Chains A and B, each alone.
Chain A
Amino acid sequence: MSEVVRAAAGSAPQAESREASAGERRWRVSRRGFLIGVGMAGAGLALGVTVGLPAARLKVAETFSEVSGFGGATNDPDAWFEVLPDNRVRLFLTKVEMGQGVHTALAQIAAEELGLAPEDLEVLQATTSQGVMDLAGTSGSFSVSSMFNPLREAAATLREMLRAEAARMLSQPTGALRQEGRAFFVQGDPSRRVTFGALAANRSNWQVPKEKPALKPAGEYRVIGRPHPRVDTRDKITGAAVYGYDVRVEGMLYGAVLRPPTLTATLKSVRTARAERVDGVRKVVVDLQNGFVGVVAVSRAAARAGIEALEAEWQSGKLWQQEEIDAAMTVGGPGGVTVQRVGDAPRELRAPTLTAEYRSPFAIQSPLEAQAALADVSADRAVIWASTQSPFVVRRFVAQAIGLKEAQVEVRATYLGGGFGRKAGWEVAVEAARLSKAAGAPVHVGWTRQEELQNGYVRPPTHHRLSASVRDGRIVALEHQQASGDVLFTFFPKVAADLVGADFGAYRGALLLYDIPNRHTIVWRRALPIKTGPWRGLGLLANTFAVESFMDELAHAAGVDPLEWRLRHLPDTLWGRRMRAVLEAAAELGRWGKPLPEGRARGIACSTDTDTVVAQVAEVSLEREAGRIRVHNVALAMDCGLVINPDGVRAQAEGGVMWGVGSALVEEMRIENGRVAARNFDAYPLLTIAEAPHVEVALLDTARDGKPRGVGEPPMGPTAAAIGNAFFALTGKRLRQIPFTPARVKAALSA
């Protein structure tokens, strides 16, 4: 087995490969469901914690634990602490760091209850072979909210275990001890002290105390709620951080994979002789049954030259065109699923006051680091380094593909050069594993930009029809009909999808939360010739664009200020109060209603996602000749409950706004002649710094219930609607299809 050359140096830090090897870490279930590490290399204390663990699973683990003495693989901590004799305290996390700052936020939460500074903790990425389990992966903006309580409890429990042991060693009552960093000392006599490391080294049969330790009240937080520099920043500005595309091991080769010429083409046959003769090619792998052909070579260039030299015969399928897809992507007809029914909207909508339709296009996640993985497969073991949001899913599919048991496959998540839903897949890791197995050497596969644009899964297009009845200045009925391609159902077995009924990823953000007596949301699932899947926020952006544009249309039709219109339709509930607060804060920050420079206008919109409420005011101008909208400023107010790292949350908000602006103005993928038209960024441009608005952020916490909520996806919800609404305020014309390209802007202006 080859050694890691760089993986240890620049962090995406993982435990040394030896410790990470399969089967060594075992856990004993202790009182209160905590896991105590058993058989650690050397002395030390390990305390693991499960997150959102169904009680049943824990029961199984306990039973098994009684029989065997060990928890085995059924107790699966999502995170654990290790206190080592050299006084290092390590926090292992299954959640991966893809730029969202999760390792820093979780370190802050843990440090708070441990009485430490976050710098006192070494944050490490757990591999899949360390007795951990996190099938959900890192997605959905719930890493912090789901781990907040379990992690605090584990940290507090660890602290109390260490304190009790310190008291015993120093022959003092626990009350006489004070903590200073990673040590306890006797109050009044700092020379009598013992470090965490010495405590860990001194004992092996650790027990978890019966009582839950008291958790710090929010008023006493010293780490949570303070801006903290990210643990990964330094390595990311020196080039030391190691990502999936960067991993190197001794003796590695490079792989490339043959791609179909169109979306529907299937491989009939392939001749490999020419490819085998290409300089540097070591192996050509053909698996016709699975439609897989790959080349292993001494360099990426040689591997791609090998692919070019293959003589493949394809069975071409239908050559889809974008227009056909647009025509099929419409609401109505059989198969609609009503996912929200309050009152009787259809009855009230027989003669609606207003009806409008909106559209959003295909879009591509486009993490700047394309898919990448290195696989090192031997007869009975495989190690995979990958930029992945879903290490455990990768493990499963790799094991299937190369005929190993899951326990024989270890997936080591590296830093991710962006994820955004796209790195929840497993294709590249499976490709690398197949090729490594065939070549008998470690193989790295790094996708080209063309593969990243053409061979993944993409954000589906959507169509929306909204209708409302307005009486006496209030909406009495509102209906949202929505059609979308699959978002999460792509990855669901058919039975499960049928059972669930409608793709909740596709209708994320589609439900109508305003205080309206009659509200219906009906969704249609439309089949598409291309695989569609998760994209940052899932359906949030498209659905919010439709609903919040329509709210704006209704406000203007009623002659009411759009801010006042929204406030008027908020219920007197906690949600309503939280939304009111962010709307008012965004209006204040964005100078809503205040004078503007000539040629500018403002628009407002809001959204709710993962129980985080967001409101934004966008300020825009227009180059009429060119049909180009310029977004100058976006003021964003967000209530995501308790904030762990305010600076990290602001960064997520700023980035979310850029995603919103990009989707509103630029991003659109088209299918031409049966394939994705774009081969590189010239045909699928992203937002640039020159087009980026200034962003102002206000963070609120109206509920003050001490609970953190999602921040990775919610901020991008309202941006596109706010920009479209500002455009209307400026021109009196409505844009109902994103992106607002010059052609669409000009068409709207001359309408």
Chain B
Amino acid sequence: MQLKINGKLREVSGAHGDMLLWALRDELGLTGTKFGCGVGLCGACTVIVDGVATRACITPLAGLQGKEIRTVEGLSDGATLHPVQQAFLEHQTPQCGWCMSGQIMTVVALLERNPVASEADIVAALSRNYCRCGCYVRIKSAALAAQQKMAAQRGEAAA
């Protein structure tokens, strides 16, 4: 089948199981999306499907046709980081980094949907994204900074 991933149509065979996570990682080599639990509990595998933060480990391939799938690899064009990535960089957020794609994709989806997200909204959106290294203080501050950064950019664009 063909899936639209990061703006490109990719052929996916399903040879690595029914779930999107393993097609991304083991078939397409998009290993930026991580495995943590396989049952939707940890958030490490979060990608964005049609604008919604989605756990790839429990998302069957069947039914994804025609949908826009975005992974961490598609967030920036290489040179310029996405504002959420930029904020995570500036706040020196990752320790081991394993959870970070999931945290970042969750925040991106939230801020695209709700540009005026409050701290409480951010915490609620991230409340099922584990960070074993305990980077929570910085994840929160980076996400808040990203929200402000994106708001400022929109302000500039509007002006």
Binding site for B on A (CB under 8 A): 5-6, 98-101, 229-230, 232-243, 245-246, 248, 254, 280, 298-301, 366-370, 415-420, 446, 448-449, 647-648, 651-652, 654-659, 662, 680-682, 686-690, 692, 694-695
A418 touches B136 (CB 8 A): no
B96 touches A680 (CB 8 A): no
A680 touches B17 (CB 8 A): no
Residues of A within 8 A of B30 (CB): 239
Residues of A within 8 A of B95 (CB): 99-101, 418, 651-652, 655
Contact of B140 among A240, A648, A689 (CB under 8 A): A689
B24 to chain A, nearest CB (A): 10
A687 touches B96 (CB 8 A): no
Residues of A within 8 A of B76 (CB): 238
For residue A658, which residue of chain B has the nearest CB?
Answer: B134
Residues of B within 8 A of A420 (CB): 132
Residues of B within 8 A of A229 (CB): 89, 92
Task: Tell me the bound Cα distance from A369 to B26 in angstroms.
Answer: 16
Produce 1/0 per residue, B81-109, CB < 8 A to A: 10001001100111111111100100000
Residues of B within 8 A of A366 (CB): 132
Residues of B within 8 A of A101 (CB): 95
* A368-B36, A416-B96, A651-B135 known; A6+B31 contact, CB < 8 A: yes
* A248-B29, A300-B22, A415-B96 known; A686+B130 contact, CB < 8 A: yes
B56 to chain A, nearest CB (A): 13
Residues of A within 8 A of B113 (CB): none
Residues of A within 8 A of B42 (CB): 368, 449, 681
Asked if B9 is an interface residue, CB under 8 A from chain A, the answer is no
B29 to chain A, nearest CB (A): 6
Task: Tell me the bound Cα distance from A280 to B13 in angstroms.
Answer: 14
Task: Tell me the bound Cα distance from A708 to B43 in angstroms.
Answer: 36
Residues of A within 8 A of B132 (CB): 366-368, 418, 420, 686
B89 touches A234 (CB 8 A): yes
B141 to chain A, nearest CB (A): 10
A105 to chain B, nearest CB (A): 13
A692 touches B98 (CB 8 A): no
A99 touches B33 (CB 8 A): no
A655 touches B133 (CB 8 A): yes
* A368-B98, A689-B123 known; A239+B38 contact, CB < 8 A: no
Task: Tell me the bound Cα distance from A230 to B91 in angstroms.
Answer: 11
B72 touches A230 (CB 8 A): no
Cross-chain pairs A/B with CB under 8 angstroms, 18 sampled? A99-B97, A239-B30, A242-B31, A299-B17, A301-B17, A301-B22, A368-B36, A369-B35, A417-B96, A418-B132, A654-B135, A655-B95, A681-B130, A686-B132, A689-B127, A689-B140, A692-B136, A692-B140
Q: A299-B17, A449-B42, A692-B134 are in contact. List 18 more A-B contacts (CB 8 A).
A: A99-B97, A237-B89, A238-B73, A238-B75, A238-B76, A239-B72, A299-B22, A300-B16, A300-B17, A301-B16, A418-B96, A449-B38, A654-B137, A655-B134, A681-B130, A689-B123, A689-B140, A690-B124
B5 to chain A, nearest CB (A): 13
Residues of B within 8 A of A654 (CB): 134-138
B110 to chain A, nearest CB (A): 13
Task: Tell me the bound Cα distance from A681 to B26 in angstroms.
Answer: 23
Max chain A Cβ within 10 angstroms of own Cβ: one of B26, B94, B124, B136: B136
Asked if B53 is an interface residue, CB under 8 A from chain A, the answer is no
A237 touches B85 (CB 8 A): yes
A246 touches B31 (CB 8 A): yes
Asked if B139 is an interface residue, CB under 8 A from chain A, the answer is yes
Task: Tell me the bound Cα distance from A300 to B17 in angstroms.
Answer: 8
For residue A236, which residue of chain B has the nearest CB?
Answer: B97
Produce 1/0 per residue, B16-60, CB < 8 A to A: 111000100110011111111111011010000000000000000
Give me the 8 closest cross-chain CB pairs, A-B, nearest first.
Answer: A239-B32, A658-B134, A417-B98, A236-B97, A99-B96, A99-B95, A301-B17, A692-B136
Asked if B15 is an interface residue, CB under 8 A from chain A, the answer is yes
B134 touches A657 (CB 8 A): yes
B137 touches A368 (CB 8 A): no
Contact of A239 among B31, B88, B131, B138 (CB under 8 A): B31
Task: Tell me the bound Cα distance from A369 to B72 in angstroms.
Answer: 17
* A368-B98, A369-B98, A446-B35 known; A689+B139 contact, CB < 8 A: yes
A368 touches B73 (CB 8 A): no
A367 touches B16 (CB 8 A): no
Task: Tell me the bound Cα distance from A579 to B98 in angstroms.
Answer: 35
A645 to chain B, nearest CB (A): 10
B100 touches A418 (CB 8 A): no
Task: Tell me the bound Cα distance from A695 to B140 in angstroms.
Answer: 12
Asked if B147 is an interface residue, CB under 8 A from chain A, the answer is no
Residues of B within 8 A of A280 (CB): 15
B134 touches A659 (CB 8 A): yes
B97 touches A417 (CB 8 A): yes
For residue A369, which residue of chain B has the nearest CB?
Answer: B98
For residue A243, which residue of chain B has the nearest CB?
Answer: B98
B31 touches A237 (CB 8 A): no
Residues of A within 8 A of B73 (CB): 238-239
Asked if B128 is an interface residue, CB under 8 A from chain A, the answer is yes
* A248-B29, A301-B17, A689-B123 known; A367+B92 contact, CB < 8 A: no
A133 to chain B, nearest CB (A): 25
A697 to chain B, nearest CB (A): 9
Residues of B within 8 A of A687 (CB): 134, 136
For residue B41, which residue of chain A has the nearest CB?
Answer: A681
A239 touches B26 (CB 8 A): no
Residues of A within 8 A of B85 (CB): 237-238
B29 touches A688 (CB 8 A): no
For residue B31, which residue of chain A has the nearest CB?
Answer: A246
B128 touches A688 (CB 8 A): yes
A651 to chain B, nearest CB (A): 6
Contact of A232 among B81, B97, B133, B140 (CB under 8 A): B97
Max chain A Cβ within 10 angstroms of own Cβ: one of B30, B88, B98, B124: B98
Contact of A417 among B16, B26, B34, B126 (CB under 8 A): B34
Interface residues of B in 63-78 (CB under 8 A from A): 71-73, 75-76
